[in-house]
Amino acid sequence: MKRWWPLRLLGTIVLALVLSSSIAAAQPPTAAAQDGFVPVSRTAQQETIPSARLVMIAYGFAWVMLIGYLWSIWTRIGKVERELHDVSRRIKAGGR
């Protein structure tokens, strides 16, 4: 009986090792808290376009369109008036 106890002890140790390793292998792998830093290449534009900028662009554009249109009418009328004046002069000169 005394000769068998080292074998029993060895057997117990081996069994414990086998059981604990199998239990450890059955656990799901845990990710590292942070594998590394990932730089931000493109954030959502919603967070980066401020409202004030959009409002200013909208009003600025409307002003540019309205003033630009008035300017275009003014230049076109000026051109037609000059041409009218020239043609009227030619007709009067031709009529003499």
Partner 1 sequence: MRKLFLPLTIAAAGMFMAAPFLIDGAPYESTMGLVQKIFYFHVPSAMTMFVSAVVCGVASTVYLFKGRPSADRLAVAAAELTSVFGVIVLVTGPLWARKAWGVWWVWDERITSTFVLWLIFNAYLLLRKYGGAGSEKLAAGLAVFGMANVPFVYWSVNVWRTLHPKTTVVPTLKAGMRGPFWFCVLAFLLFYVLALSARARLESRRAELEELYLDIEE
Residues that bind partner 1 (CB under 8 A): 45-46, 49, 51-52, 54-55, 57-59, 61-63, 65-66, 69-70, 73-74, 76-77, 80-81, 83-84, 87-88, 90-91, 94
Instruction: Classify 39 as helix, strand or coil.
Output: coil
Name the helix (H) or strand (E) containing 57: helix 51-95
Whichever of 8 and 96 has its CB closer to partner 1, that residue is 96
Instruction: Classify 44 as helix, strand or coil.
Output: coil
Token pair for residue 17?
């090792």
Instruction: Calculate the CA 58 to chain-centre distance.
Output: 21
Closest distance to partner 1 from the beta carbon of 41 (Å): 20
Whichever of 28 and 94 has its CB closer to partner 1, that residue is 94
Whichever of 12 and 88 has its CB closer to partner 1, that residue is 88
